[in-house]
Amino acid sequence: MAQEFITINRHISIEGRRYPQATGEFTSLMSEIVLTAKIIHREVNKAGLVDEITGFTGDVNVQGEEVRKLDQYADDLFMHILKYSGHVCAMASEEAEDLVRGPTYVNSGKYVVLLDPLDGSSNIDANVSIGSIFAIYRRVTPPGEPGALEDFLQPGRNLIAAGYILYGSSTVMVYTSGRGVHGFTLDPSIGNFILSHSNIRLPEKCGIYSVNESYTRDWTEGVRRYVERCKCLERDDCASSFDGKTLEKPMSSRYIGSMVADFHRNLLYGGIFLYPGTKKKPNGKLRLMYEANPMAFVIEQAGGAASNGVMDILDVQPEELHQRIPLFMGNRDEVELLENYIKQYDLKEELVGV
């Protein structure tokens, strides 16, 4: 018997039928994101062969980072395709300072989309895995009016869908609409994403920690002590006094430097990802709206947790589009344990960026 292939478009359509009031607009919007992912996959696979898509543009984005050509290409492509989809009244990108609104005829669009068009772009020229991240909210302003900032400044708990595309040894798209997490692998021979990881759940064992340890000296004491515990160092205060457990052996250290790639590995194998603030930059580097919220939505749907060290990421009320926040996400027990370390050692120092 031939294997049943479930394409991502079919899967989204099936999920939409669970809602009798559905109009098909969300399904159509997701199809536009799928199309964009396929085109970026094509361009990523040409990196190193075509000079026009490697290297820098010479510009600096709103984050103060040098813009790479493929960064710009991915951002322009997402904006162009979604702007004219008819379903999005406005968009926000990590690469742009302000909202991006579409033509007046799309003011009736039900949704707003936030994008990190190409996460980990500093790894492009080294042929390391990179990704795209998206988050979708239902607008809160009246239809017929242009999308406004208040449509975006909603807590992650209000997300209706989020996910990412990982461009690696194969291209994988993972998304959730609040009913589990599902992964799809692109089959280039037929040009479609095929269901490859149904209803992803984090393994119970957390065997990996992912963090850039070059900043160890700048971490707060709680974060530093937690990472020492992950290494199973021979010190009494590295054993967990908060959960009554000690590690039998060190956790494996794995850090790629592309958040999507680190996240995807930990999602499948079990692990915790850390991007803490430092004493000089207590709010860290990652953006709440473009990176933390969508990934937190995914990890919670897979049975995990995401925190800023004090509270659930999805419960943080955003104050600005490009707000930065410390981020810890992975197996729920480990995230809660890390919060206990921060509560014990850091809150009195007011260094956790909240």
User: Nearest-CA neighbor of 262 among 211, 327, 186, 202?
Assistant: 211
Matching fold, domains 8-197 and 208-349 = no
pLDDT of residue 172: 97
Q: What residue ranges do the domains of the chain occupy?
A: 8-197, 208-349
The whole-number average pLDDT for the span 84-100 is: 92
pLDDT of residue 215: 93
pLDDT of residue 239: 54
Helix, strand or coil, per DSSP, at residue 33: helix
Higher pLDDT, 45 or 257: 257
Helix, strand or coil, per DSSP, at residue 93: strand
Residue 88 contacts residue 82 (beta carbons within 8 Å): yes
**294-349 tens-digit pLDDT:** 999 999 999 999 999 999 999 999 999 999 999 999 999 999 999 999 999 987 54
pLDDT of residue 351: 46
pLDDT of residue 274: 98
Supply the pTM of this predicted model.
Answer: 0.91
**50 Cβ neighbours under 8 A, 6+ residues apart:** none
Matching residue, tokens 């810890």: 328
Residue 242 has pLDDT above 80, yes or no: no
pLDDT of residue 65: 62
Across the chain, mean pLDDT equals 88
pLDDT of residue 30: 96
**101 Cβ neighbours under 8 A, 6+ residues apart:** 89, 90, 91, 146, 147
- Where residue 1 falls among pLDDT bands split at 50, 70, 90? very low
Residue 48 has pLDDT above 70, yes or no: no
Percent of the chain predicted with pLDDT > 70: 86
Considering the domain 8-197, what is its CATH architecture? 2-Layer Sandwich (3.30)
pLDDT of residue 336: 96
What is 208-349's CATH number?
A: 3.40.190.80
d(CA 181, CA 197): 8
Cα angle, residue 329 at apex, residues 325 and 333 outer, rounded to 5°? 130
Residue 175 contacts residue 162 (beta carbons within 8 Å): yes
- Where residue 107 falls among pLDDT bands split at 50, 70, 90? confident
